[in-house]
């Protein structure tokens, strides 16, 4: 390499032009190359409700590619239930958490129908698990008829009035 070329490159480096031109990453650019993902601080077992104290943010390079889609916000995990064991320091896959169940399949549950001041209650057997606001199928234990209902916050199932 001729000495004039070397001097030119040295001058560019001294002036900081390579960083300005994007040829060399600057310190702030390196920080922007990281993404923060929530990871468990303790082992979380299936069925455990995830609390904020069980999580911390961990930096990963933006080039990080998980084996499966992972959750990128702590608020998307807190209050949900683990479907499988979550290990400390590992990103949480989207399919590893579920909304908490208010109704469990096969467990006798109160069904309620309300319309124009008329209230009818009966016992039903849910045919599937359900969380708040989900529409599920329920078998009326008196008539063996299958109806659709919406899971309410208190664990009852509202029939009709969709």
Per-position pLDDT tens, the chain of length 162: 456 666 666 655 655 555 544 454 544 444 567 889 999 999 999 999 999 999 999 998 888 777 778 998 999 999 999 999 999 999 999 999 988 889 999 999 999 999 988 999 999 999 999 999 999 999 999 999 999 999 999 999 999 865
Query: What was the pLDDT predicted at 99?
Result: 87
Among residues 142, 147, 143, the alpha carbon closest in space to that of 127 is found at: 147
- How many angstroms separate the CA atoms of 137 and 118, rounded? 22
Q: How many residues does the chain have?
A: 162
The per-residue pLDDT for 4 is 62
Please give the DSSP secondary-structure letter assigned to residue 51.
Answer: -
Beta bridge partners of 34: 61
Q: How far apart are CA 39 and CA 89, in angstroms?
A: 5
In order of their start, the domains of the chain are 36-99 (3.90.1210.10), 109-159 (2.30.30.760)
The per-type count for the chain, helices as H runs and strands as E runs, is 3, 9
Burial class (CB in 10 A: 0-12, 13-18, 19+), 22: exposed
125 backbone dihedrals φ, ψ, rounded to 5°:
-110, 110
């Amino acid at each position: 390499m001729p000495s004039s070329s070397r001097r030119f490159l040295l001058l560019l480096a001294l002036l900081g032009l390579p960083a300005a031109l994007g040829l060399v990453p600057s310190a702030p650019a390196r920080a922007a190359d990281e993404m923060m993902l929530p990871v468990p601080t303790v082992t979380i077992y299936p069925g455990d409700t995830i609390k904020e104290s069980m999580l911390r943010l961990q930096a990963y390079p933006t080039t990080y590619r998980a084996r499966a889609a992972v959750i990128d916000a702590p608020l998307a995990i807190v209050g949900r239930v683990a479907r499988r064991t979550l290990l400390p320091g590992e990103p949480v896959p989207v399919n590893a958490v579920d909304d908490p169940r208010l109704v469990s399949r096969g467990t006798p549950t109160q069904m309620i129908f309300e319309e124009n001041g008329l209230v009818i209650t009966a016992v039903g057997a849910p045919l599937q698990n359900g969380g708040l606001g989900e529409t599920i199928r329920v078998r009326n234990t008196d008539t063996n008829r299958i109806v659709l209902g919406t899971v309410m916050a208190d664990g009852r199932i509202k029939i009709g009035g969709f």
